[in-house]
């Protein structure tokens, strides 16, 4: 028996009495697997019987074009290639008799296997269970249950659950990077808890924002260690436009990317929103058929500067959760051994994150409001859309009898742009400017109805702020 293939079968096959595998006569072992001799004495294989026997031996599922096999020693399902599946089925044949396999057998039974393998709508369907090395952890009750193939779990955190573990040094780190801001610390706690959970309903991408030497890298490394490197992809924002690269997201729990300077590169906003929202995406894998998959991973980016975007829609901004990392650690303040210290606190960090996750769930999956995070998002919106900053600074809602004409808006905008170094906005033609202006009004819940008076367009229900 081929040693590498044998180890594959050892990992995935359910325990079977040795008498079933090797006992009895050769004819009995062959018959169990669907082999028979035709009238000419030639050995044939009934693919239906063989596939039924294979599916008795291994726990196999088929989801959105991908096979998943249950690894009984690890307690989770893993994606398996057709080649590895073929190796396993060959070894099941060789259990009956060495060197019996022939490619003519697999040409037929692999097609039957595709038809007979149970198809599931989604993997990881139970959002209240987290797979850890020593069992399945119920988020609500903290009960630890044995692993089972019935949970369809594909993601296992890379540690054991220990309810007594404490992360004292990690809590000090959190206090340092948040500058003692309790709201920001609670927000981070909820974000990490959400990333570690199978829940996907929030549909936001998380950006850790700040210059170098501020602790962002420590947090992303700890999350990678908690989730397990095999469950993490590292696509950058620019990779989102590449359908081959998107295949790296399949089966991952979180995508973590550190991007130092991305401000000059535009954000591929439509694909970004599609992935973060969990909409079906077609990906291409080399030498394989394109397949559709539903992204279930979280997205975490550690950035020095935020990406530029021409998409100023609410649909984009509501997908963003920006977390400021404003602490700057001087050289003499940096603890070069910190990550090694924190590795020993991973079980305690998990407990810390679970508290944040439970608070998030109790609050109907609304994150703790952080004044600093809100301010950072507001500043980002204004930087990306100076028209938004102009409206916020200059215009308020008025009575139905009041209003502002396009001509006076243009003049005021010209002055504001000159004073704020936004000359590019002044150059926009009317066919671009006024739809953008209406979109900004709508995003701020300001009146945006426009009517024509004596050949001039007027926005009804607006007035200038006092002093403007």
Give the DSSP letter of residue 57. Answer: H
8 A C-beta contact, residue 47 and residue 55? no
- Please give the Cα distance from 90 to 57 (Å, whole number): 13
Residue located via tokens 């936001």: 204
Task: Indicate the fold that domain 168-377 takes in CATH.
Answer: Rossmann fold (3.40.50)
pLDDT of residue 238: 84
DSSP for 177-204, please give it: HTTT-HHHHHHHHHHHHHHHSS--TT--
Q: Where are the domains of the chain?
A: 3-116, 168-377, 385-464
Q: Please tell me the distance from the alpha carbon of residue 126 to that of residue 436, in angstroms, as a whole number.
A: 43
Q: CA 302, 137, 117, 35 torsion: positive or negative?
A: positive
What are 413-445's pLDDT values in tens digits? Answer: 999 988 887 777 888 899 989 998 998 999 889
For 429, phi then psi, to 5°, come to -70, 160
3 state DSSP class of 137: strand
- Entry pTM: 0.81
83-118 per-position pLDDT tens digit: 999 999 999 999 888 999 999 999 999 999 999 999
Look-up of token digits 């369809």: 152
At 196-254, the pLDDT tens digits run 999 999 999 999 999 877 889 999 999 999 999 999 999 988 888 787 888 899 889 99
Say which CATH topology domain 385-464 has: Arc Repressor Mutant, subunit A (1.10.10)
Write down the number of H helices and E strands in the chain.
19, 20
- pLDDT tens for residues 188-198? 999 999 999 99
pLDDT over threshold 50, residue 134: yes
> Which residues face 61 on adjacent strands?
68
């Amino acid at each position: 028996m081929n040693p590498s293939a044998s180890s594959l079968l050892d990992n995935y096959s359910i325990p079977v009495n040795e008498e079933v595998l090797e006992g009895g006569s050769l004819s009995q072992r062959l018959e169990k697997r669907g082999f028979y001799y035709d009238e000419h004495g030639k050995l044939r294989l009934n693919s239906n019987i063989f596939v039924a026997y294979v599916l008795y031996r291994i726990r196999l599922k088929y989801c959105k074009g991908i096979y998943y096999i249950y690894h009984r020693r690890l307690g989770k399902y893993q994606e398996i290639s057709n080649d590895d599946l073929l190796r396993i089925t060959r070894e099941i044949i060789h259990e009956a008799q060495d060197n019996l396999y022939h490619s003519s057998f697999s040409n037929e039974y692999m097609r039957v296997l595709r038809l007979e393998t149970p198809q599931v709508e989604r993997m990881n369907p139970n959002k209240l269970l987290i797979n850890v090395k020593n069992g399945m952890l119920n988020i609500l009750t903290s009960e630890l249950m044995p692993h089972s193939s019935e949970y369809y779990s594909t993601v296992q955190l890379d540690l054991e659950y220990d309810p007594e573990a404490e992360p004292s040094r990690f809590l000090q780190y959190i206090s340092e990077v948040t500058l003692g801001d309790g709201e920001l610390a609670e927000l981070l706690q909820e974000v990490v808890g959400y990333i570690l959970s199978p829940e996907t309903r929030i549909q936001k991408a998380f950006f850790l924002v700040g210059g170098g030497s501020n602790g962002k890298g420590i947090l992303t490394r700890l999350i990678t260690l908690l989730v397990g490197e095999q469950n993490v992809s590292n696509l950058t924002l620019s990779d989102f436009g590449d359908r081959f690269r998107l295949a790296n997201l399949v089966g991952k729990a979180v995508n973590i990317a550190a991007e130092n300077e991305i401000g000059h590169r535009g954000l591929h906003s439509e694909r970004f929103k599609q992935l973060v929202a969990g909409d079906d995406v077609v990906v291409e894998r080399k030498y394989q058929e394109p397949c559709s998959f539903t992204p279930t991973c979280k997205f975490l980016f550690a950035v020095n500067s935020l990406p530029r975007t021409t998409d100023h829609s609410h649909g984009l901004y509501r997908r963003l959760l920006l977390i400021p990392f404003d602490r700057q650690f001087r050289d003499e303040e940096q603890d070069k051994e910190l990550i090694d210290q924190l590795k020993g606190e991973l079980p305690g960090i998990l407990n810390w994150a679970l508290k944040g996750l439970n608070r998030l769930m109790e609050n109907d999956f609304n994150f703790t409001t952080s004044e600093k995070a809100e301010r950072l998002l507001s500043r980002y919106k204004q930087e990306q859309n100076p028209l938004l900053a102009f409206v916020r600074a200059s215009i308020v809602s008025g009575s139905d009898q009041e209003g502002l004409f396009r001509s006076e808006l243009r003049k005021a905008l010209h002055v504001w742009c000159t004073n704020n170094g936004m000359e590019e906005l002044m150059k926009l033609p009317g066919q671009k400017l006024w739809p953008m202006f209406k979109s900004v009004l709508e995003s701020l819940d300001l009146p945006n109805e426009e009517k024509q008076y004596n050949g001039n367009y007027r926005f009804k229900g607006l007035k200038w702020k006092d002093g403007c």
